[in-house]
Amino acid sequence: MKKKSNPKSDSAKESQTQNKRQANGWWGEGPVFVFLYDKRKKEAITNGVAEEILQFIKESENTLYESEALRVIRIDNEYSHPVLFVDTGKETGLDQLDHLRMAGYRLAKWAENNAIKTLMIPPLKEDSLAKRYAILQGLCHASYAFDKYKSKKHKRTDVEYLFADNMEIDGNSLQTLFSGIDFAKDLINEPGNALTPAIMANIAQSIAHKLGLTIKIRKTKELEKDGYNGLLTVGRGSKNEPAMVTLSYKPKQKCIYHLAYVGKGITFDTGGICLKPQDKMSEMKCDMSGAAIVLAAIKVIAELKFPIEVDAVLCLAENRPGENAMLPGDIFKAKNGKTVMVENTDAEGRLVLIDGLAEAAELGATHIVDIATLTGAIRRALGTSIGGLFSNSEGLTETLIESGAEQGEKWWRMPMDEEYADSLKDKVADIRNIADDGPGAIVAALFLKEFVKKDLQWAHLDIAGVDFVSKSYKYTEYGATAFGLKTLVETAKKYSEDEIRS
Ligand code: BES
Ligand code: MN
Ligand code: ZN
């Protein structure tokens, strides 16, 4: 598994490499051997005896480099190979696979900085494909950088991991997944001036074209015709008009399940007339994370040709004050006939999502998952490591949580007690978009529930806490995490496997 190299000229790169090697007292062109162990638990992760490894490290005098989690030791045998010991147990609270992802990430970063090309990893204890994938995923995460606006480009990781035996690894599906992850991150990190609803619709169009997906793009006129008034109301304040983009992937096989993924795509959220405070408002360029993720998800699913029918609905709009902007107190009629009063223009995500949910039902989906940077409240409740999950279906909940757990994305199922739904009743309209007080993330989910057909299996993923990091978290230094994408891809995979069995 090799990540792409940067386009810098080879000779310039070579001499840089030489310099680094010399600076480190480095020699030898061969691979660097890597041993993984958990210092805290005193466990060897790659084959070996933990006590011996720890003893060896303690006694070794030739330490070339040392940090909290990495240690490079030179072994003076006939090969004179540097050997890398990596403590995979540094963080608390991660599961085993996430420890391996972190190890893979750190290794790749270290190798990149030291111009090491190849790392050789011996078989792991209780080895499995999942464990090896996790290490490789860390490598893939390490190679991402959003540097298109920097004059000086980040050096892409050009590191190769070799496993010392030949357990078969499907590098292709991993590459496909990660090109999807990088694609979603690029979209999310893009500033508001460079990614308007129309631009995002064009990007979706070119993907649909390349992959043979059907696509329907509704702009103002078509939205009016079809009664998608949530998008129209939110988008009114901007000269960049709103859009709904629906992509459909249909495999040749007959399918039982039909998934629809609906993404919140606010390309910038100023809050509208209920303007947000200025502190970190710039990060609201990430308010289209949900749409980026569902677009990337259908791209990966189609590229991997999963035997399942999937739609992606992108609800795209810019939320800003303007001459024509929606006002607090405005009322509009949703597609399902309910009237909605806009109490707060900053609670705009739920207004565009009700259109996406209606579209998903019209497409005949059996299972609908929406994903949205919906509430600051979910961030306060679950922090920056765990996404919020709301659902009317035990089965869908289980599949999503399990898929996430396998992929290093944690979800916590939140309650949706109807008691709180009363707070959304309005004196003039059928429903209002915020409650006077109460648990914000739950109330937002209850609002959405009013617009989901009763017999459909539905889940709502609130990623406002996890989609974007201001400071380094796990394998992301700054910016978009694309949290949720791996869960959606894995969920589609699980439903398609279920189908093959039946
Ligand atoms: N896009 C925001 C939510 C958000 C907050 C995303 C922080 C990412 C990080 C959403 O549109 C919003 O403004 N929600 C309001 C709702 C409130 C007005 C009921 C919020 O959470 O403050
Ligand atoms: Mn908002
Ligand atoms: Zn928003």
Structural domains of the chain ordered from first start: 10-169 (3.40.220.10), 175-376+421-501 (3.40.630.10)
Least confidently predicted of 30-44, 124-138, 188-202: 30-44
From the candidates 276, 333, 338, 453, give the one annotated as an active-site residue: 276
74 is catalytic: no
The average pLDDT across 191-217 equals: 98
| Shortest-distance Cα residue to atom 16 of ligand 1 | 347
Q: What is the structure's pLDDT at 247?
A: 99
The rounded Å distance from CA 120 to ligand 2 centre is 48
Beta-carbon contacts of residue 179 (< 8 Å; ≥ 6 apart): none
DSSP 125-180: TT--HHHHHHHHHHHHHHT----TT-SSPPPPP--EEEESS-----HHHHHHHHHH
Pick from 274, 288, 346, 467 the residue to mutate for probing ligand 1's pocket: most ligand atoms within 8 Å of its CB: 346
Q: What is the structure's pLDDT at 116?
A: 86
Q: What is the structure's pLDDT at 423?
A: 95
Taking the CA of 464 as reference, the closest ligand is 1
Q: What is the pLDDT of residues 423-455, one digit of tens each?
A: 999 999 999 999 988 999 999 999 999 999 999
Is the pLDDT assigned to residue 27 strictly greater than 50? Answer: no
Least confidently predicted of 76-85, 93-102, 175-184, 310-319: 76-85
Return the closest-CA partner of residue 449 out of 440, 434, 441, 460. Answer: 460
Q: What is the DSSP letter of 42?
A: T
Return the closest-CA partner of residue 271 out of 320, 230, 342, 232. Answer: 320
Q: What is the pLDDT of residues 387-405, one digit of tens each?
A: 999 999 999 999 999 999 9
Q: What is the pLDDT of residues 66-77, one digit of tens each?
A: 888 888 887 776
DSSP 56-75: HHHH---EEEE-SSEEEEE-
Tokens standing for 301?
A: 């699913």
Q: What is the structure's pLDDT at 5?
A: 41
The average pLDDT across 469-479 equals: 90
Dihedral sign (CA 216, 221, 227, 228): positive
Contact 476, 469 (CB under 8 A): yes
325 vs 43 pLDDT, higher one: 325
Q: What is the structure's pLDDT at 450?
A: 97
Is the pLDDT assigned to residue 154 strictly greater than 90? Answer: no
What is the C-alpha to C-alpha distance for residues 152 and 365, in angstroms, rounded to an integer?
46
Least confidently predicted of 47-56, 252-261, 313-322: 47-56
Is the pLDDT assigned to residue 19 strictly greater than 80? Answer: no
80 confidence band (pLDDT: 50, 70, 90): low
64 confidence band (pLDDT: 50, 70, 90): confident
The average pLDDT across 300-328 equals: 98
12 confidence band (pLDDT: 50, 70, 90): low
The rounded Å distance from CA 95 to ligand 1 centre is 30
Q: What is the structure's pLDDT at 239?
A: 97
Q: Counting atoms of ligand 1 from 1, which one is nearest the CA of 266? A: 1
Q: What is the pLDDT of residues 261-285, one digit of tens each?
A: 999 999 999 999 999 999 999 999 9
What is the C-alpha to C-alpha distance for residues 105 and 138, in angstroms, rounded to an integer?
4
Enter the pTM of the model: 0.93
Q: What is the pLDDT of residues 97-106, one digit of tens each?
A: 999 999 999 9
Is the pLDDT assigned to residue 17 strictly greater than 80? Answer: no
Q: What is the structure's pLDDT at 79?
A: 62
CA angle 213, 293, 175 (to 5 degrees): 75
From the candidates 264, 350, 449, 494, give the one annotated as an active-site residue: 350
Q: What is the pLDDT of residues 483-497, one digit of tens each?
A: 999 999 999 999 999
The rounded Å distance from CA 435 to ligand 2 centre is 15
Q: What is the structure's pLDDT at 473?
A: 87
Least confidently predicted of 16-30, 66-80, 124-138, 337-351: 16-30
Q: What is the mean pLDDT of the chain?
A: 91
Tell me whether strands 118-121 and 82-87 are parallel, antiparallel or unpaired: unpaired
The helix/strand/coil state of 190 is coil
What is the C-alpha to C-alpha distance for residues 494 and 486, in angstroms, rounded to an integer?
12
Q: Residue 195 to residues 190, 192, 199: CA-CA distances in angstroms?
A: 6, 5, 6
60 confidence band (pLDDT: 50, 70, 90): confident
Residue 316 has φ and ψ, to the nearest 5°, of -105, 130
Tokens standing for 88?
A: 């995979």
Q: What is the structure's pLDDT at 500?
A: 66
4 confidence band (pLDDT: 50, 70, 90): very low
The average pLDDT across 22-37 equals: 68
- Find the residues whose C-beta lies inside 6 A of ligand 1: 269, 287, 344, 346-349, 373, 375-377, 379, 434, 440, 464
56 confidence band (pLDDT: 50, 70, 90): confident
Q: Which residue is it, tokens 């900085």?
A: 113
The average pLDDT across 76-87 equals: 77
Is the pLDDT assigned to residue 312 strictly greater than 90? Answer: yes
CA angle 95, 97, 100 (to 5 degrees): 110
The H or E element spanning position 269 is: strand 258-269
With a pLDDT cut of 70, the percent of the chain lying above it is: 92
The average pLDDT across 78-104 equals: 87
Q: What is the structure's pLDDT at 53?
A: 81
CA angle 4, 185, 135 (to 5 degrees): 55
* Ramachandran quadrant class, 25 (left: phi over 0; alpha: psi -120 to 50; beta: rest): left
Q: What is the structure's pLDDT at 23?
A: 43
